[in-house]
Structures are given as structure tokens and as C-alpha cells.
Amino acid sequence: MAKSFKRFSKTLLAAATALTIAGTVQAETLKIALAGPATGPVAQYGDMQKIGVLAAIEYLNANGGINGMDVEGVIYDDACDPKQAVAVANKIVNDGITHVVGHLCSSSTEPASDIYEEEGVLMITAASTSPTITEKGYGMIFRTIGLDSLQGSMAAQYILDTAKPKTIAVIHDKQQYGEGLATVVRDGLKAAGVEPVMFEGVTAGDKDFSALIAKLQKADVDFIYYGGYHPELGLILRQSAEKGLKAQFMGPEGIVNSDLAKIAGDAVEGVLATAPKAFDQNPENAERVKAIEAKGEDPTGPFVFPAYAAVQIMADTIKAIDSTDAMKMAEYIKANTFDTAIGTVKYDDKGDLTESTFLVYQLHADGSKTPAQ
């Protein structure tokens, strides 16, 4: 009897210790998962996200954390592959993390968001612009970047009002992001009575576009909208320059990347792109830019400050409601406005930003960009 009581008390003690340890660990660090490509062809976008998130976390930690909690960013690599994104999302849930910044590619974010919604994980993506992600009526999914459709209609508006070309071709890479945008652009043009002479897909990963370029030349196209990412557009630009195709190119923010100039060289000069506003030029972000540059990192990437803002929104919410419960946080985020690195943020019912964060830019051969007239 005495023996069994002794054993029982030991168990109690062990349980109590375990509880306190668990309690203190939870109180000391808040883990934020950082999901995006760390490898693969679009890894540099993942870097941008990482730079923004880690800078925000370092700033928080240097200023006493969130309500005394330290914040830790945990990196998960989805390689921008939908299958791997699902695996990553499951791993995040298994690791007990309930706050995610990511994913990056829309095609990865979409399947991952299903898992987060079901498991009650708060997700803010700083880069995925596909409208379908927020169309499912989910409560836990937010963005700090404008929608594809906004970007597409903005491009269509620019083509109609400013560029006013004679013959337009719309080309895309047959992927969710690229084709989605290209469709919005085409529909926007059609609605205004301008019919693109071509609407065609290319295969992502293809290297030879000589046949397509000859076709564009034959159709006398003087304006080409490309929905997709920089590796293919880089090659199209390079081969167009070699073949003497003189047309104005325009693309979404997926093409805005210093690698575009590396692939296409001087052919990049003058290419138009809708991209998130250059938040690093914003005087309010001067301190943050300085902190990122001090680490030897590049603050100019389009996803750096949206990623920074995602962490700020999470931190502000936790401070305001004094809880890290993801469900309660999601409710608070929908109901309130936030002052962040990308300006004042307010959400609609779906979890989309109420204001567009895009601007039309002109790209240059040295990798820089300036606002287009």
C-alpha cells in the first residue's frame, strides 16, 4: 500500500514537472513556420520571404518579443512543388506549429491551405496571388499581397490606356498562376473591345521558343503579355532579340527577378511588369531596410516587405488579444486594421487585402526597376 502510494506520488511529481516544463517552453518561444521554396528553380523568391520574416522576427526579439515571448522562425522547404507543399503542411501541423508565413507559389499554397484550415493553423501568404486560394471561404487564410486578378486587370487597363498597341498577343505557361493572369488580361482587353490576335500556352521548362517567335513575327505583334515566371520569359526575350522581334513585353511580378536580366541580358531593358510597390523605397521602412542591409541581405525583392508585414500582423494580434490561439487571432485579424511595413492593412471577408499593392514598373538591364509612366 505504502509502496504503491509512493509510486503514485512519483508519477504525479513527474507529471507536474513535465507540465511546468511544457508550460515554460510554450511561454518563452513562439514558433512561426516559414514555408516556401528553399531549393528549386524559384528558390530566390523563397529567399525574399525568408529575409523579410527573419528581419521582422529579429526586430521583435530585440524589442522584448511578443508579450515577453521570443519568436523563432522555422524554415520548411516545399520547393514550390504542390506535392511537397502538402507534406510540409502536414509536418508543420505535426510539429505543433500554428502560425505559418507562406507558402509562396500559388499552386503550393492552395493544397497546403486546405490542411491549415482543417487543422486550425493561421496562414498568411506574402506572395501567392491566385484568387482561388481565398475563394473557398476559409477563415484561417490571409494574404499580404494583392490578388492575381487585380494584377491582371491592372495590366489590361495599362495596355488599354497607356501602351495602346496595335496588335496584342497573350502568352502563358499553362500553370495556375500564369494562365490565370493571362486569362484575366485577355478578358479585360476583350471587354474593352480589343481582341488579342493570339492566346497561347508554352510548356514551362521548355528551352526552344523559336517556333513561337516566328509565329509572333508573322502576326506582326507589337505587344506581348506573358503570364508566367522569369525562366521562360527570359529565354523568350533572349531569342526574340536574336531573331529581331521588336515588341513590347509585359508580365506579372513573377518575372521581376534579377535572374531575368542574367538570362536575357540587354533584352530586358524596357520590359513592363506589374509588381508590388517598392516598399524598400518607402521612407517609413528606412530603418528596416538598413537592418536588412546590415546583414548583407537584399531588401529590394518584391516579397520581402509583405513577408515582414505578415509577421507584424501576427505579432500585433497576439499583443492585442494576449493569446496565441490561431482561431481567435484569425477573428481579430478580420475585424481590425494594422499598421505595417506595407502600409495600412485591412481585410475583407475572404482574407484578401482591400487595397491593391501593385504598380506598373519598367525593368532595366541592370536588374533595377522604375515606375512606368
Partner 1 sequence: MTEASLYLLQQIINGLTIGSTYALIAIGYTMVYGIIGMINFAHGEIYMIGSYVSFIVITGLLAIGSFVLPLVLFIALVVAMLIASTYGWTVERVAYRPLRGSNRLIALISAIGMSIFLQNYVALSQGSRDVALAPLISGSVLELGSLETFEVTLSWMQLLIWVVTLVTMTALTLFISRSRMGRACRACAEDLGMTNLLGIDTNRIISLTFVIGAALAAIAGLLLGLYYGVINPFVGFMAGLKAFTAAVLGGIGSIPGAMLGGLILGVTEALTAAYFPSEYKDVVAFGLLVTILLFRPTGILGKPEVEKV
Q: Which residue ranges make up the site for partner 1 (CB under 8 A)?
A: 39-41, 43-44, 174, 200-203, 205-208, 210-212, 214-215, 217-218, 231, 234-235, 238-239, 242-244, 259, 262-263, 265
Cβ 238 to partner 1 shortest distance, Å: 6
Residue 30 or 79: the one with the smaller Cβ distance to partner 1 is 79
**Residue closer to partner 1 (CB basis): 229 or 308:** 229
In the complex, least distance from residue 174 CB atom to partner 1, rounded to whole angstroms: 6
Tell me how far, at minimum, the Cβ of 235 lies from partner 1, in Å.
6
HSE toward the beta carbon, residue 278, CA cutoff 13 A: 17
> Using an 8 Å Cβ cutoff, are 175 and 106 in contact?
no
Question: What is the dihedral sign for C-alpha 125, 130, 132, 134?
Answer: positive
114 vs 222 by CB, closer to partner 1: 222
In the complex, the smallest distance separating the C-beta of residue 204 from partner 1, rounded to whole angstroms, is 11
Supply the Cα-derived Rg of the chain in whole angstroms. 23
Residues 22 and 222: their CA atoms lie apart, in Å, by 64
H runs (alpha helix) in the chain: 2-28, 43-62, 82-94, 106-119, 148-158, 176-191, 210-218, 230-243, 258-264, 286-294, 304-321, 326-335
DSSP string of 305-368, one letter each residue: HHHHHHHHHHHHHHHHHT---HHHHHHHHHH-EEEETTEEEEB-TTS-BSS--EEEEEE-TTS-
Measured from the CB atom, the residue of 174 and 334 that comes closer to partner 1 is 174
By the 8 A CB rule, do 236 and 212 touch? yes
Q: Which helix (H) or strand (E) holds 130?
A: none
Contact 185, 227 (CB under 8 A): yes
Closest distance of CB 82 from partner 1, Å: 17
Nearer residue to partner 1 within complex by CB, 47 or 148: 47
CB of 243 to partner 1, least distance (A): 6
Closest CB to partner 1 among residues 158, 209: 209
- Return the number of the residue (123 or 182) whose C-beta is nearest partner 1: 182
Supply the minimum distance, in Å, between the C-beta of residue 39 and partner 1. 6
Q: Name the DSSP letter for residue 66.
A: B
Least distance to partner 1 from the beta carbon of 202, Å?
Answer: 6
Nearer to partner 1, 11 or 210 (CB): 210
106 grid coordinates: 500559388
